[in-house]
Amino acid sequence: MSLSDADYHAKAHALLARIEAQIDAWLDEDVVDIDAHRTGGLLELSMPGGSKIVLNTQPPLQEIWLAARSGGYHFKWDGSQWVDREGQEFLARLSRSASEQAGQALKFSA
């Protein structure tokens, strides 16, 4: 499904903001120490142990990219959520990658 540029930017911005809010809540609750650094459409998560997860918006393709130890993933809006080519939902993939890299169960939710 193709979005208008404004809709893509709004949805991508909302997703990154939701991730930052979840990380802030975990920091406040002393759940896990993840440092989030955002520059425009790029959000870098520094995980415990020194690894990183990088989330990056790709406006020309209307995608969001996730780079983690487990690999790189590209997600498009399907009309209700961000999914990759295999139908994997973005927050589920991010939760799995973050859990693997943090060494504890972490769940990002909508």
pLDDT band for position 102 (cuts 50, 70, 90): very high
Where do the domains of the chain lie?
5-102
What CATH architecture is 5-102?
2-Layer Sandwich (3.30)
pLDDT band for position 67 (cuts 50, 70, 90): very high
Q: Judge if pTM exceeds 0.85.
A: yes
The DSSP H or E segment spanning 45 is: strand 42-46
Average pLDDT of the residues in 13-18:
96
The DSSP H or E segment spanning 37 is: strand 35-39
Average pLDDT of the residues in 61-84:
96
Q: Tokens 């994997």 sit at which residue?
A: 88
Average pLDDT of the residues in 18-47:
95
Please give the pLDDT value at position 66. Answer: 98
The answer on pLDDT for 1 being more than 90 is no
Q: What SS3 string covers 52-86? A: EEEEEEEHHHCEEEEEECCEEEEEEECCCCEECCC
Residue 38 bridge partners (DSSP): 43
Mean pLDDT of the chain: 95
